[in-house]
Amino acid sequence: MGRWLLLCFSVLVLAAVGFASNEPARAPDARDLGGLCEETRECRSGSRCVDQTGVMEGQCSATCSESLSCQSAFGGKSLCLGADLCARTCADSGDCPAGTECNAYGWCERPRSRHFD
């Protein structure tokens, strides 16, 4: 019985290590929430490059269900959009990462003319 428990525990540990190593290597200049990206390695750890047409396409974000989860991961200047994605809040475009602008809803968005095809 003890051998089976040890075997099961070892398999679980190996699975956890394998899962943790699946995160892509991050670029040295990885971008923060709302930053422009083409692939996830360009975004800081804990976020990914969103490829959801019409909602933060080509920007770094993370999945959320409420603004509190975004704020604990990215700070007070973030919120959870209805699309279940974290976004950087803004009062004007000066609050946004390079290449993005403050939209009418108060979050930084990539201008439509610069979206990927």
Label the pairing between strands 86-88 and 48-50. unpaired
Where residue 117 falls among pLDDT bands split at 50, 70, 90? very low
Return the higher-pLDDT residue of 104 and 55: 104
Q: How far apart, in Å, are the Cα atoms of 2 and each of 8, 12, 54? A: 10, 15, 54
Q: What is the pLDDT of residue 27?
A: 79
Average pLDDT for the chain: 84
pLDDT at 80 over 80: yes
pTM for this entry: 0.73
**Amino acid letter, 86:** C
Where residue 14 falls among pLDDT bands split at 50, 70, 90? low
Compute the average pLDDT of residues 10-34: 68
